Structure 1
Amino acid sequence: MLIVTGATGRLGALIVDRLLERVPAERIGVSVRDAGKAAHLAERGVRVRAGDFTEPGGLAHAFEDAERILIISAAIRGEGAVAANRAAIDAAKAAGAGRILYTSHQAASPTSLFPPQRVHAATEEYLAQLGVPYTALRNGFYASALEQHAGAALATGTLAVPQDGPVSWTAHTDLAAAAVVALTDNGALDGVTPPLTATRTLDFADVAGILGDLTGRTINRVVVDDDEWVSRMIAGGVPRPAANFLLTMFTAARAGEFAVTDPTLERTIGRPAATVRDTLESFLRVR
């Protein structure tokens, strides 16, 4: 059985939908914190079981009969994320999975300025020590992160964020397609993958320009001082720890951590990767 965790999240849901196009539903299992939210998958014949990385005792049931398991990284910040990911990996090994797959990040590093990349680096290191075939999918930075900034820019006419740097913004749909290939073709992607990214890097000035082209409006890119931006976020209702965390994306970007592209994603999915323009067009259609 092919098991996907986090199947009700944005990436996990896309992965399961595409997996259903390639294999019979009875070969697919999902592990989710709230089984009720996956009732629609059960109706399609997918095995739905409750599983929570922070309560690893229940993962044995969720991972039962696993052939391969895709572990979508825990949506937790800090050291708790590493512990949760390790618990899921341990449970996958104990379940006898022939391959463990994990959603990592394009530039996972123990010295990254962006905390999630340090979590991914620690998780990759743990995976490599287990002696089980594994795949660490080094996903590009999710292009969907631009949506909240685009919404604010359209409301004000300015894209006002801290100094940034080039980022290879990558679509969830493409990363889901690559994950399905990795799950269904045991030799397609092995070990730590190259960065799974779109083919271009863009900064927020580029994003502002694309928004302007798509809407026929002038969207000005304004650089905001780091401390001022954090204060604005807090004034808007974002807790200080969350605002400080969000700032690290900009500090890592201007240090060049996300300024990488690689052809592996397009080769894996067999088509051109979606662009930022594609992502923003989709956002504008549904907003």
Structure 2
Amino acid sequence: MIVVAGATGALNGTTVEHLLKRVPAGQIGVSVRDIARARHFADRGVRVRQGSYEDPAALRHSFEGADQVLLVSSNDPHADAVSLHRVGIEAAVAAGVQRVLYTSHQGAGADSPFHPARDHAATERLLAGSGIAWTSLRNGFYAHSLGWLLGSWQETGVITAPADGPVSWTDRADAAEAAAVILAGDRAFDGPVTLTARQAVTFDEVAAMASQLSGHEITRIVVDDEQWIADKVAAGTPEAMARMTLTTFHAAREGRFAGVGPLLAELLGREPRSVADQLADNIAA
């Protein structure tokens, strides 16, 4: 059995949808905080059990009988993510799971300016010491984040942001589908694997793409880090959130998100969605 944790979320919920196209529903289980929100899976024959990182006993029960478990990384900026992930790993070990897969992030590293990357690196160390087989899915930076980072460029004709670096913006749905392909397939992936779009681009290049797609000139303006923080706070973003987001730019400047590879396309059997695809969707919306 394959059990997917956090299956009512956008990422792992999409993975379950793709699994249902590849394996019988009776071979799929989900571990969710609120079972009522997973009714649409239960109605299709998926085993639904309550489980969360805050309830180790329930989590172990939700993993019962699983050969593989897909853990989702915590997205709570106020939580001790590594401690939560440890609960998930220990629950999988206690349940006799043979392999744990984990939704990590490209650029995971203990010395990264981007704090979530440190949490991912620490979680990978826990997986390596768990004594069971593991796969860390280092997904490229999710492209839907561009909507917030680029600001209201369609109205202003300007992309205003701090200095950046190339990022292999990757469609979250593509990453979710790739996870399903790995879970349902016979090929073993041991340790970290990186799943990215084909191209890493800077905001200068994004502005050029946006200009071509929209038919209007889009200008890229680089602003000082502290000025960007001040502007975000003035617009209503909590300062702590703005400063955390700024570390995305710091990490990009160091090339932490610049790597690209062919594996995502190989798993999908098609080209992954690109930044241009994302921009075109935004323009059409």
Match in the other structure for 1:281: 280
Structure 2 CA distance for aligned equivalents of residues 131 and 226 of structure 1 = 43
- Alignment of structure 1 residues 69-218 onto 2, 5 Å: 69-77=69-77, 80-150=80-150, 152-193=152-193, 195-218=194-217
Match in the other structure for 2:255: 256
Structure 1 CA distance for aligned equivalents of residues 77 and 24 of structure 2 = 35
Match in the other structure for 2:234: 235
Structure 1 CA distance for aligned equivalents of residues 283 and 26 of structure 2 = 37
Letter of the 2:17 counterpart: D
Structure 1 CA distance for aligned equivalents of residues 178 and 162 of structure 2 = 32
Q: Deviations over 1:46-72 (max 9, x none)?
A: 222222112323212221221210001
Structure 2 CA distance for aligned equivalents of residues 78 and 189 of structure 1 = 31
- The answer to whether structure 1 residue 219 and structure 2 residue 218 are counterparts is yes
Structure 2 CA distance for aligned equivalents of residues 201 and 251 of structure 1 = 16
Check whether the contact 1:79–1:119 (CA below 8 A) recurs between aligned residues: no
Check whether the contact 2:150–2:160 (CA below 8 A) recurs between aligned residues: no
Structure 2 CA distance for aligned equivalents of residues 249 and 139 of structure 1 = 15
Partner-residue secondary structure (3-state), 2:38 = helix
Count of aligned residue pairs for this structure pair: 285
Identity across matched positions, percent: 46
Partner-residue secondary structure (3-state), 2:101 = strand
Q: TM-score, normalised by structure 1?
A: 0.94
Structure 2 CA distance for aligned equivalents of residues 53 and 215 of structure 1 = 44
Gaps (5+ residues) in structure 2? Answer: none
Match in the other structure for 2:12: 12
Structure 2 CA distance for aligned equivalents of residues 214 and 256 of structure 1 = 27
Partner-residue secondary structure (3-state), 1:202 = coil
Gaps (5+ residues) in structure 1? Answer: none
Question: 1:269 deviation in Å?
Answer: 2.3
Aligned-residue CA RMSD (Å):
1.6
Residues 226 and 151 of structure 1: CA distance in aligned 2, closer, same or farther (over 3 Å): closer
Structure 2 CA distance for aligned equivalents of residues 216 and 37 of structure 1 = 42
Structure 2 CA distance for aligned equivalents of residues 160 and 214 of structure 1 = 19
Check whether the contact 1:162–1:224 (CA below 8 A) recurs between aligned residues: yes
Structure 2 CA distance for aligned equivalents of residues 165 and 146 of structure 1 = 14
Residues 33 and 79 of structure 1: CA distance in aligned 2, closer, same or farther (over 3 Å): closer
Match in the other structure for 1:36: 36
Over 6 Å off, 4+ runs:
none
